[in-house]
Structure 1
Amino acid sequence: HLPQDPLISLLPEEDNERKLNYNPPAQKSLQEIQEMDKDDESLVKYKQTLLGPEAKNTDLSGPNVRVTRLALLCDDAPEPITMDLTGTALEEKSFTLQEGVKYRLKVYFKVGWIKSIFLYHLFCILPLPPESSMVCMMGSYGPRAEEQEFLCPADETPKGLMSRGQYQIKSCFVDDDKNAYLSWGWNINISKEWN
């Protein structure tokens, strides 16, 4: 079981009626799921569509979700902005963005088990207290040997003299069971020009 991250408190609470009426099925291994209902041709095809042909070759050791990198996509940026999120590369990073530009975040990850994944961001304008937060439901993903990706909805950097400066961001990848797979801090500097 993974440790809980403080950002999980940002997750919207499930209403009590939904909690009471849902009993999750017992957890089964990928092999058990693939072996079930072998006589039902339509179910076998459905599972192959859902899991993909490479599910048999997926490495199920280690965490269910491995987040590998994050890219900040902006048509106006002079160069690609990417962040390696693996191993020792995961240190606090700073990026400079021009004020008032549209951007999108692209998340690259690997899934070893069927999971619904959320991406949380807590934005702070230093040295003020937390300003805002964002929760992005990335969807449910089946196991794949290759890296998968998710493109977050478009957003715009703040604009104006008062919005320039450093924004400290705390990000966290969480599944629908509220297990945190990766949590890290990074900074965005909003400036008048790209410099």
Structure 2
Amino acid sequence: MAETKNDDDIHVDEFEDQQNFVPPAQKSVKEILNADANDESLKKYKEKLLGSASKVDVIVVEPSNPLNVIVKSISLVVDNKVMRSMNLPNNDEFTLAIKEGCHYSIHLEFYVQREIVTGLKYLHKVSRLGITIAKESYMLGSYAPNSELYVYKTPPEEAPSGMMQRGKYKVRSLITDDDKNRWLEWTWHLEICKDW
């Protein structure tokens, strides 16, 4: 019997720009700091880039969590006001509701611990009635380990409007990086409503 492919699954390759990008080789914070150790100006530059990660042996926010990226929450923001926020990881599927035609953005809060993460990305696939209608890829950037929470805000988007656009949309989300690590994957719903 042939294997069936679940259309909801997120495959990083389907979001990739086919420009033959080759990510840099992974290096630990120690390797970066020890390279060119005799160049004082380069040493200062690295310390500025790495911040507190350059001053301690290893930054670990959650010792029991082996992941380098720990996603804490996702929030739906309309007119600079958080309308709804969900802690992650969340074992239950949840729904974020917005009014049709409003401008909204998604905010992600996360920690980076132990090592530098390059090319962190937020990918999501939106489907309705089992048909994929949108795929989005947001480049979050590269991050050094830090005990402070990072916040990424997607660019503002306009929610669809009109009777045919109202309803519930299924969203499969993935936080990944240049090395294709799957830091967190979850499912949630976005509901487009006539009113708040």
Distance 1:42 1:187, change over 3 A: same
Letter in 2 for 1:15: Q
* Alignment equivalent of 1:191, drawn from 175, 189, 193: 193
Aligned equivalents of 1:165, 1:148: Cα separation in 2? 32
Kindly, what percent of the aligned residue pairs are identical? Answer: 33
Aligned equivalents of 1:186, 1:73: Cα separation in 2? 16
1:80 aligned onto 2:83: yes
Aligned equivalents of 1:98, 1:49: Cα separation in 2? 43
Letter in 2 for 1:50: L
Aligned to 2:102: 101
Aligned equivalents of 1:144, 1:93: Cα separation in 2? 29
Shift of 1:152: 0.7
Shift of 1:139: 1.1
Shift of 1:34: 2.3
Aligned to 2:116: 114
* Alignment equivalent of 1:6, drawn from 7, 10, 20: 10
Distance 1:83 1:7, change over 3 A: farther
Aligned to 2:4: none
Gaps of 5+ in 1: none
**After the TM superposition, which residues 122-161 of structure 1 pair with which residues of structure 2 at under 5 Å, given as runs?**
122-125=125-128, 127-161=129-163
C-alpha distance after superposition, 1:43-62 (max 9, x if no partner)? 11111111002452511862
C-alpha distance after superposition, 1:141-184 (max 9, x if no partner)? 11111111111111111100000010000000010111111010
Gaps of 5+ in 2: 1-8
Distance 1:53 1:122, change over 3 A: same
Aligned residues: 181
Instruction: Please tell me the root mean square deviation across aligned C-alpha atoms, in Å.
Output: 2.2
**After the TM superposition, which residues 43-82 of structure 1 pair with which residues of structure 2 at under 5 Å, given as runs?**
43-55=42-54, 56=56, 58-59=59-60, 62-75=66-79, 80-82=83-85
Shift of 1:37: 2.8
TM-score of the superposed pair, with normalisation by structure 1: 0.83
Assess if the C-alpha contact under 8 Å between 1:111 and 1:141 holds in 2: yes
TM-score of the superposed pair, with normalisation by structure 2: 0.83
Distance 1:76 1:178, change over 3 A: closer
Assess if the C-alpha contact under 8 Å between 1:76 and 1:101 holds in 2: no
Aligned equivalents of 1:105, 1:48: Cα separation in 2? 31
Shift of 1:76: 8.5
Letter in 2 for 1:32: E
- Matched residue of 2:148: which SS? coil
